[in-house]
Structure 1
């Protein structure tokens, strides 16, 4: 097997014609014969380039609305023939099969068609057949054939040819072959995932997942772990689609925390200014306000200690006043649906602060899948899009919540679904005042949230803990009354929780004895 392979003939058949003409001109200048099909051939001719139709090679015209054009032995033989195998070469000579040394193919825009909401039949027509077949053939025979599936690799191909006097090296062909197989795998994953959804198959026998490299990361959660960031092509607004205005590259932990922050703040839509401050994927402060700067200040006042080095997410475009407040402490990332000129100028002085802007907020209720790797497999589930309206709440205590308490209960419940379980959230007047997250017992979460509220009250110079007069949300039921009593001791007046414990009656009786109002949602929000 020789390392260098000459390039005498190329087959160009692309859906995305970006850069096609420049690539073809460069190949033609090197004396490479150009073969093509359909729209690609037309584009090359209109650019004045010599090109042979594949139909001329195969002896068959394109037919069946273009479904059949490259599925022919004279195409696949030219891609698959091993040049050093005498029998292969003899078969090519006998059957008039021209060797194809370079294949440039990108596929029908199936993913884009699905993203536009096309109907079933249109999506089916945008499933490429000949393209993947040729790509796989060329990639298998990378000992002799070079295959290019991404426009981003055109320049690399031309550089390779320049460096090797019109030839390609084996390491280069191997790399492109791997890229090609990954592309067809991702394409098939997109088709199978779409079809499962289209036919209502929630648990198909086999699932395929794919991504496109967006960023190679310096390391993962820890410096000894390699990591990279891949996008899934869904276009969901957030960290994957955001424009980074300034700051150093995002880290693995930055991306994870920024996603958690933006998904949380999106719960509040754009009706009222809201801010979420996240640390280690948990909210350390969430608030609404009359203005964005007020919302940030109220979120910051929940836990100023944890907010240091945190992630700030806003549901409205960042303005100068809010940027000035955020800039007063070290903040890793700020993400918002826009940022005005004054805000950008203020942040420009903070060179390490990453500012991300998106075009929109994600829809918290849009269906999608989440998955997590375990030893030997993957756990796959629907994303938690469950929602509870006020009319769904069941009052189970003698006292019903007041209108203000009900507002705070709904706010606290919204935040609690984004807190790692066991989750306890104290809130008052559209502001978190204490958050207990990720504990092995609900009692410990209630204790931690109360302690944080008390400590923050002292730091703010308040006469009492801000938990006094607050409400509490629990992401799952209270298995015993002890966690509830801890919250009552902290000063809460109302409780929202799913219910469903064997000891619900005991917990409700304890709430009545403490004079609390309690409502049940009938829906829990574990977040592990």
Structure 2
């Protein structure tokens, strides 16, 4: 197989220099692109440019640099297939053992006020997802990382056993496919809205973990709270908890229901919800008046309920 080779190309550079240094100390040859290559060089990490591997320059303002057989051959070849290894040797392609890639900041770009369609589209990554998908497909042999939170575990496994376990590689590959699926879902939503399509033939949505919950609707059930990356700012998901113990599944669900009801009013209004059932709704000259009507509607069920 020859020397160990790692391919690094990241938009999020948190911890990348330290990670690459550790890889270099473990005997990895580092291949990198553009801004990542410059950051690694400045950090004192020996690095080989992608063009030195492919024999082809980065072109079209960097839009084409990694889409090349000398990269994807190294990502997709099977280590234990003699015909694959023969083809690599014949075409002078080096196997790539580890891939660390994260994508152009599309979500961050479209979150900026006044972003143009041109800016958004320019931040749609092409080569990154291709490398990630190829590496994750070939996780039987390749370790692929998309999240800086996983750097240390990989380093520890290499130090302790000279490689990662299949279990780790599979977990990392699953994270990659979730990452690319979420990335494409955001792009699809943006482009659908940009095109003015109101009833697309397919609708794909993505959510991000906001917090794990102590339990679900009942104590024996597990639950977690997810939010849309670009959900409404006027929602429970966007709210800040000021005090008190951690909210439960039922607290969050009821709070969301109460908020959705009270949003229907333009005059001062209040709502009480208990286990997803409104037990009081009132409107008045001010919030105090409105709440008084809510309480009087059912002073028993409101105990332990949610007020909006």
TM-score, with structure 2 as normaliser: 0.87
1:218-229 correspondence to structure 2 within 5 Å: 218-223=214-219, 225-229=221-225
Per-residue deviation, 1:76? 0.7
Match of residue 305 from structure 1: 300
Q: 1:167 to 1:273 in 2, by over 3 A?
A: farther
Tell me, yes or no, if structure 1 residue 65 matches structure 2 residue 46. Answer: no
Tell me, yes or no, if structure 1 residue 206 matches structure 2 residue 202. Answer: yes
Per-residue deviation, 1:61? 1.4
Match of residue 251 from structure 2: 254
Per-residue deviation, 1:289? 7.1
The answer on whether the counterparts of 2:206 and 2:229 sit within 8 Å (CA) in structure 1 is no
1:96-111 correspondence to structure 2 within 5 Å: 96-111=92-107
Match of residue 181 from structure 1: 177
Per-residue deviation, 1:240? 2.0
2:52 equivalent among 26, 42, 56 = 56
The answer on whether the counterparts of 1:7 and 1:167 sit within 8 Å (CA) in structure 2 is no
Query: Secondary structure of the equivalent of 2:301?
Result: helix
The answer on whether the counterparts of 2:3 and 2:29 sit within 8 Å (CA) in structure 1 is no
Tell me, yes or no, if structure 1 residue 148 matches structure 2 residue 153. Answer: no
Per-residue deviation, 1:172? 0.6
Match of residue 129 from structure 2: 132
C-alpha distance in 2 between matches for 1:72 and 1:83: 19
Match of residue 271 from structure 2: 276
1:50-449 correspondence to structure 2 within 5 Å: 50-116=46-112, 117-162=114-159, 164-223=160-219, 225-237=221-233, 238-266=235-263, 275-287=270-282, 296=291, 299-313=294-308
Q: 1:22 to 1:263 in 2, by over 3 A?
A: farther
Describe the superposition over 1:238-285 as per-residue Cα deviations: whole angstroms up to 9, x where unpaired: 33233344444433322222222233445568xx87643322234333
Q: Which runs of 5+ in 1 are unaligned?
A: 1-5, 314-528
C-alpha distance in 2 between matches for 1:239 and 1:104: 35
C-alpha distance in 2 between matches for 1:180 and 1:227: 23
The answer on whether the counterparts of 2:269 and 2:282 sit within 8 Å (CA) in structure 1 is yes
C-alpha distance in 1 between matches for 2:186 and 2:83: 39
Query: Secondary structure of the equivalent of 2:13?
Result: coil
Match of residue 371 from structure 1: none
Larger relative contact order (Cα-Cα within 8 Å, sequence gap ≥ 6): 2
Query: Secondary structure of the equivalent of 2:154?
Result: helix
Instruction: Name the one with the larger strand percent.
Output: 1
Bigger CA drift: 130-139 or 286-295?
A: 286-295
The answer on whether the counterparts of 2:295 and 2:302 sit within 8 Å (CA) in structure 1 is yes
C-alpha distance in 1 between matches for 2:290 and 2:9: 54
Instruction: Name the one with the larger helix percent.
Output: 2
1:479-494 correspondence to structure 2 within 5 Å: none
Q: 1:267 to 1:19 in 2, by over 3 A?
A: farther
C-alpha distance in 1 between matches for 2:180 and 2:3: 24
Per-residue deviation, 1:291? 7.5
Query: Secondary structure of the equivalent of 1:240?
Result: helix
Tell me, yes or no, if structure 1 residue 38 matches structure 2 residue 34. Answer: yes
The answer on whether the counterparts of 1:7 and 1:168 sit within 8 Å (CA) in structure 2 is no
Q: 1:261 to 1:29 in 2, by over 3 A?
A: farther
C-alpha distance in 2 between matches for 1:189 and 1:278: 33
Match of residue 19 from structure 1: 15
Describe the superposition over 1:90-109 as per-residue Cα deviations: whole angstroms up to 9, x where unpaired: 22222121211111111111
The answer on whether the counterparts of 2:144 and 2:173 sit within 8 Å (CA) in structure 1 is yes
Q: 1:292 to 1:42 in 2, by over 3 A?
A: farther
The answer on whether the counterparts of 1:140 and 1:177 sit within 8 Å (CA) in structure 2 is yes
Higher Cα Rg, which structure: 1
CA RMSD of aligned residues (A): 2.7
C-alpha distance in 2 between matches for 1:32 and 1:156: 17
Match of residue 417 from structure 1: none
Alignment: residue pair count? 305
